[in-house]
Amino acid sequence: MPLHRRHLIDVADFSRDEFDTVLDTAVSMREVLDRPIRRVPTLRGKSIVNMFFEPSTRTRVSFELAGKSLSADVVNVAASGSSVEKGESLVDTFHTIQALGADMVIIRHACAGVPDLAARHLDCGVVNAGDGLRGHPSQALLDLFTVREHAGDLEGLKMVIVGDMLHSRVARSDIWAFARMGAHVYLSGPPTVLPPDFGDLLNGDGMVRVEYDLDRAIEGADVVMALRIQKERMAGGLLPDLREYARRWGITPDRLGRADRQVLLMHPGPMNQGIEISSDVAYGEQSVITEQVTNGVAVRMAILYLLLTGAH
Amino acid sequence: MAANGGVGRLVMSADDLRRTLTRMAHEIVERNRGATNLVFVGVPRPGPILARRLAEAVASFENVNVPTGAVDISLYRDDLVSRAATPAMHPTDIPVDVTDRDVVLVDDVLHTGRSARAALDALTDFGRPRSIQLAVVVDRGHRELPIRADYAGKNIPTALYENVEVRLDELDGEDAVRVVARPEVANAAAS
């Protein structure tokens, strides 16, 4: 089944079928990455422009490798060193990129909605690589893919997401994605960054629950995801000190022992080891954190392939 | 006219198909002077099933188990942008190193030759076979590229508004080859 979209802006309105289409395609892309020659000619002649107005290593490199594995030309534009520094407006920058012949623009920006703005002004496709606190759709897709590769089916799984929900675009996209696929999502973290009705706000079907006590939330969990603690939030007084955070919401071997024996431990990276996740578990048997990174390339290949081929 | 449920003109029955595959298996072994260096690689969806049936036939009279696999051509097509829909992908599984092997590509129908071209490109990404040969159940003509079949089960002259369907028990619930009218093409010609 094809994906009837030109852009990937958000996964909030994705149907199950659309998720399945991307994940099924990513299985075939994964196989390409295991070949001796990790390149197929699919997107020959297509130009992809990476526009990252915020720092990023894994997402940018991941999209770059995905585009190159499909034989597209990939160009990176960083905000510093570009005409953005000279005061060019975003819309003017978009028009310039289009005039240079881009077929797809991949955007990360600190402001929510910038990818929507780009999609309105550009004739080419737009992929959101993270916008403000709003969403990070390709991360949610690669997280779904990683869990599906292990568990087979997402229906009925118990997933726990731990950390600063308010300031995490990864959490938002993951909550939407996993709840839509039938997983029961439990949110845990300090009440200052996890409003009690946060789950219902994002999903009205009762698939998302808030449980401040992590030991209770993690009981029998199939998937545990720790979010990165953004230390800059400490200054605003929203988070307790790091030692207290680690004690109450850090993922430790003891805590993980309360989950299902086959639990998958995830982290979107970059990690603060010893705070939201202890080093023993980050590289332990249950960790799929490095797999997430590898799968990210396959999932982004699937996204580019589905958006750039076929008539939309 | 719908393209499913046993409609269309029957051109090969289940028995015809079985005898044809057996004959092709003999031709392949004869041409390659044995079966020990062979690999059968099918183009999804029906190709891998046909490859397995050919291998079973070879095993029955030659006592050699020919490795079989699948090569998906979606990522190698030359019409990805012009097609109305992105093709669904199927698994690629090349079971052995194809370098220096005699690889027989197996497909259901040879038509324009573009699928075969894509399959050749895909296959050579996995190594450098000693030879690549093409086996198809039906050659229906209308070639657009300089490609021919080494082994053809049956030559069926067709009109462009027709479709040749090789239907297999595992996928379609029957073994048969049928010629059906493509409604979208026939209607376009009529209007």
CB A68, CB A60: distance < 8 Å: no
State pLDDT tens for residues A267-304.
998 999 999 999 999 999 999 999 999 999 999 999 99
How far apart are the C-alpha atoms of B72 and B90, rounded to whole Å? 6
Render pLDDT for A238-261 as a digit per residue (tens, 0 to 9): 888 889 999 999 999 999 999 999
Are A240 and A189 in contact by the 8 Å Cβ rule? The answer is no
- Contact list in B for residue A306 (CB cut-off 8 A) is 86
Q: Which domain holds residue A256?
A: 137-289
The shortest C-alpha distance from B30 to chain A (Å) reads 33
Domain ranges of chain B: 9-76+88-190
> What total number of domains does chain A contain?
2
Q: From chain B, pick out residues whose CB is under 8 angstroms from the CB of A24.
A: 88-89
At A251, list the tokens. 């993922």
- Alpha carbon of A35: minimum distance to chain B alpha carbons (Å): 7
Q: Are B23 and B137 in contact (CB under 8 A)?
A: no
Residues A41 and A162 in one domain: no
pLDDT of A89 > 80? The answer is yes
- Pick from B80, B83, B125: CB nearest A37: B125
Res A207 pLDDT > 50: yes
Query: Looking at CA atoms only, how far is residue A100 from chain B in angstroms?
Result: 20
Q: Is the Cβ pair B88, A1 closer than 8 Å? A: yes
Q: Are residues A129 and A110 in the same domain?
A: yes
pLDDT at A263 over 90: yes
Per-residue model confidence as pLDDT tens digits over B64-82: 999 999 999 999 998 887 7
Residue B62 has pLDDT above 50, yes or no: yes
Minimal CA separation from A122 to chain B, in Å: 19
Query: pLDDT tens-digit profile of A221-237?
Result: 999 999 999 877 777 78
Cβ-based contacts of B45 with chain A (< 8 Å): none
**A31 and A73 co-located in one domain:** yes
Using DSSP, state whether A31 is helix, strand or coil: helix
Nearest CA among A194, A234, A233 for reference residue A213? A194
Q: Is the pLDDT of residue A81 over 70?
A: no
pLDDT category, B1, cuts 50, 70, 90?
Answer: very low
B9-76+88-190 — its CATH code? 3.40.50.2020
In a domain, A1, yes or no: no
| Residue pointed to by tokens 């996995």 | B126
Q: Do A259 and A221 contact (CB within 8 A), yes or no?
A: yes
Res. B2: pLDDT tops 70: no
Are A188 and A160 a contacting pair, CB within 8 Å? yes
My answer on whether A158 and A265 are in the same domain is yes
Residues of A whose CB is below 8 A from B75? 28, 32, 40-42, 70, 305
Check whether residue A247 and residue A228 sit in a common domain: yes
Chain B residues with CB-CB distance to A2 below 8 A: 85-86, 88
Question: What residues of B are in contact with residue A32 (Cβ under 8 Å)?
Answer: 75, 92
- ipTM (interface pTM): 0.81
Q: Does B117 touch chain A (CB under 8 A)?
A: no
User: CB–CB of A3 and B86 under 8 A?
Assistant: yes
Q: Which amino acid is at A22?
A: V
Structure tokens at B139: 């050659």
Of the candidate ranges A19-33, A142-156, A280-294, B5-19, the one whose mean pLDDT is the lowest = B5-19
Give the separation between CA A181 and CA B4, rounded to whole angstroms. Answer: 32
Q: Is A24 on the interface with B (CB under 8 A)?
A: yes
